[in-house]
Structure 1
Amino acid sequence: MNQKRSIFEEVSTSEKPEPQAATGIIDRAYKGARGAIRIWLMVLFAMVVVMIAVGGLTRLTDSGLSITEWKPVTGAMPPMSAEVWASEFEKYKAIPEYQEQNKGMSMAEFKVIYWWEWGHRQLGRAIGLVWALGFGFFAVTRKIPTGWTGKLLGVGALGGLQGAIGWWMVASGLEEGMLDVASYRLATHLGLAFVILGVLAWFIFQLGATEADLMQRRRAREAKLFKLSAILAGIAFVQILLGALVAGIDAGRNYVDWPLMAGGFFPPEPFSLQPAWRNFFENDGLVQFMHRIVAYILFAKGIFVWWRARSSPNGSTRFAFNLVIGVMTVQMVLGIVTVMNSAPWNLAIGHQFLAVVLWVSILRARFLAGYPQSQSVRD
């Protein structure tokens, strides 16, 4: 006889539960040690910043030509005996810088500039080693996120290219009639250093969020502000190259009046060198004039972009552009003070370091315009 079933009878739990929607599919597809790789890139970033500062001091102390050979491996060992020191000094005595500028230099004085250049090259080797060890570890352990292998290899390739360009720069100063390295080669060397710094910074920004989060944030991209900040970054990069030209020919130590130059808007004899194109690289008056004019253009563009950024709906983006205009203002004032004091090394290196801060702050502001951080409705 069948028993009556109660309307309150529980449904059997033996039935299979409905399948749940899978989450995190995008992040699993791009799995990898994002956090660890980001820390590794931060270490490289810090080392490149120090490298730029040491390179600037090497230039300001006229130490760059003290080592007259390029030995990427064996050059890692400094002179360890009096005989080796004497040999290095004899090689330096054979170049124009010693014969026409430093004739009579003592061994003690030579050692000072030698250690500056050796330290500069040694830091470059250390950066290469940190990159190689880090990349090798993440590659062997298969911790590199999908799509990032080529990017990280690119960082290493840029570093190798920088080493080659460094020697190309030094070699120009060893030629007959040269007392310093060619200014355009110095600008190339410094410009690539800032490119490497910018690439590292951008990758660090990207690895600070998951792929899913980046895709979500990109939907809210402020396209106009993203484009304007790219133009701002381009002008800043041109100004960095011009700053390298100024440093390369010591143009910052002449024409110490401001806003005029030797009492006029244009410097005297801006095209005194022949052929005429040399003046854009070697005429101290014209090079400093170009550096000043582009500074005004950069500052004006910075104000315009900052003004547009004030209408951004995202608070972190607005703050990033506030930081840009703040750093830019301090940098411009410091540049004026530096040239009016004939570019002493402490002000000059501070001016160069602040250029690093400005460069990275512009890139960060652009990143936040392209990938705005999520915020609450209340914000």
Structure 2
Amino acid sequence: MFSRAYQAHHDRQLALWLLCCAVVIYGMILLGGVTRLTESGLSMVEWRPIMGIWPPIGEAAWQEVFAKYQRFPEYQKINQGMGLDEFKVIFMYEYLHRVLGRLIGLLFVIPLLFFALRGVIRPGLMPRLLLLLLLGGCQGLLGWYMVKSGLVDRPSVSQYRLTAHLGLAVALYAAIVWQFLNLWPRAALPLKSPAAHSMKGLAKWSPVLLLLVYLMILSGGLVAGTDAGYAYPTWPNMGPGFIPPGLYEGTPQWLAAFEDVTTIQFNHRIFAYLLVMIVGGFGLRLLLQNADGFLRLAGAAVIAALLLQVTLGISTLLTRMAIPVAAGHQAGAILLLTVLLFTVHTLRRRQGLIPSDS
């Protein structure tokens, strides 16, 4: 049996490894958003898990992959007449996205084997790490399943598969961050101040905030997958008024929430307003009504991340989805989720709702 100090030392090593994985996955999500914004995702029409790590080398190789691309709907219906130099640009976005995915796999598997062989992984943790590994593998398969939907008869991927691909990536990222927080040395024990009892209820329902932000990110995936942001690039109104004409039209009406661009964008906006009130209220509660300085700082961070994301969201509309701004909006969503993960975990830890040996 390891001593407490010995186990804490290796917990820190495991935590730093997971943090590195999370940072790279954050970059992967951002690069995936840029790939979507530049319409580069369908430039690679083959999935070669091993050999695909090598890019085309030489003019003949580039001509070969370009000729394959020309046989599919995106080139025939949208990019007819595109030159090889233009193709190279969109190809490299998708190529880098796929290669980074493979590197993430190696970044996870090799240290996991190292720690496992050394026998320093605390009891009960290995099943969680293996589950994360399984989710990572599923993410790769889901990515190709998404791409395949745009290689048949329409020059775009299914918004359902794109949203699922994004959702699994974000879920994997959040799970790794949460496990990092479980392993990192506990800087704060449960509060013993008079404010401790008043924060108990807030700590109990705080995970709901994580779910709401996650659902908001999925809503953003539907917006991206249908290009719904282009329908009404204005704010606060959509067309002639706050509520646009044509909401929930079609049969069945509920399907409009997933396929009608007006309804999808409207729902995304309303969800955002709801989150501003709920998440903003949570941040203010920590900032103004808590006696603990660290949680006050966390509340301020939540409010700052929320305001940044709102600003980026509005700017994305007003700039007609300018790539740097839209990419920043996606990065801001993950930043907000990250700040909430740290805040919720800390709040629940200090209220004794997360065991010290989790």
TM-score, normalised relative to structure 1? 0.85
* Superposed displacement of residue 142, structure 1: 1.0
Structure-2 residue corresponding to 1:191: 167
Structure-2 residue corresponding to 1:223: 200
Contact 1:31 1:146 in 2 (8 A): no
- Taking the aligned partners of 1:70 and 1:218, their CA distance within structure 2 comes to 52
Is 2:120 the counterpart of 1:143? Answer: yes
Structure-2 residue corresponding to 1:346: 324
Relative to structure 1, the CA distance from residue 258 to residue 128 in structure 2 (aligned partners, 3 Å threshold; closer, same or farther) is same
**Greater helix percent: which structure?**
2
Is 2:182 the counterpart of 1:206? Answer: yes
Relative to structure 1, the CA distance from residue 273 to residue 113 in structure 2 (aligned partners, 3 Å threshold; closer, same or farther) is farther
Structure-2 residue corresponding to 1:107: 84
Deviations, residues 164-198 of structure 1 (Å, cap 9, x unaligned): 1111111111121x221111211111111111111
* Superposed displacement of residue 272, structure 1: 4.6
Structure 2 unaligned residues grouped into runs of 5+: 353-358
Relative to structure 1, the CA distance from residue 25 to residue 69 in structure 2 (aligned partners, 3 Å threshold; closer, same or farther) is closer
Q: Name the SS for the 1:33 alignment partner.
A: helix
Q: Which moved more, 1:321-330 or 1:158-167?
A: 321-330
* Superposed displacement of residue 82, structure 1: 3.1
Matches within 5 A, 1:186-335: 186-209=162-185, 217=190, 222-273=199-250, 276-309=253-286, 310-335=288-313
Structure-2 residue corresponding to 1:168: 145
TM-score, normalised relative to structure 2? 0.90
Relative to structure 1, the CA distance from residue 368 to residue 26 in structure 2 (aligned partners, 3 Å threshold; closer, same or farther) is farther
* Superposed displacement of residue 29, structure 1: 9.8
Q: Name the SS for the 2:289 alignment partner.
A: coil
Deviations, residues 186-232 of structure 1 (Å, cap 9, x unaligned): 1111111111111111111111126xx88x53997843122332121
- Measured on the aligned residues, the alpha-carbon RMSD in Å equals 2.4
Contact 1:243 1:291 in 2 (8 A): yes
* Superposed displacement of residue 240, structure 1: 0.5
Q: Which moved more, 1:337-346 or 1:84-93?
A: 84-93
Q: Name the SS for the 1:71 alignment partner.
A: coil
- Taking the aligned partners of 2:74 and 2:181, their CA distance within structure 1 comes to 44
* Superposed displacement of residue 38, structure 1: 1.2
- Taking the aligned partners of 1:69 and 1:271, their CA distance within structure 2 comes to 37
* Superposed displacement of residue 32, structure 1: 6.5
Structure-1 residue corresponding to 2:355: none
* Superposed displacement of residue 242, structure 1: 0.8
* Superposed displacement of residue 277, structure 1: 4.4
> Number of paired residues?
347
Contact 1:44 1:131 in 2 (8 A): yes
Deviations, residues 50-78 of structure 1 (Å, cap 9, x unaligned): 10111111001110001111111111112
Q: Name the SS for the 2:185 alignment partner.
A: coil
* Superposed displacement of residue 92, structure 1: 1.2
Of all paired residues, the percent bearing the same amino acid is 37
Q: Name the SS for the 1:103 alignment partner.
A: coil
Contact 2:233 2:318 in 1 (8 A): yes
Matched to 1:206, the amino acid is: N
Matches within 5 A, 1:76-95: 76-95=53-72
Which of these two proteins has the greater Rg computed from alpha carbons?
1
- Taking the aligned partners of 2:46 and 2:158, their CA distance within structure 1 comes to 17
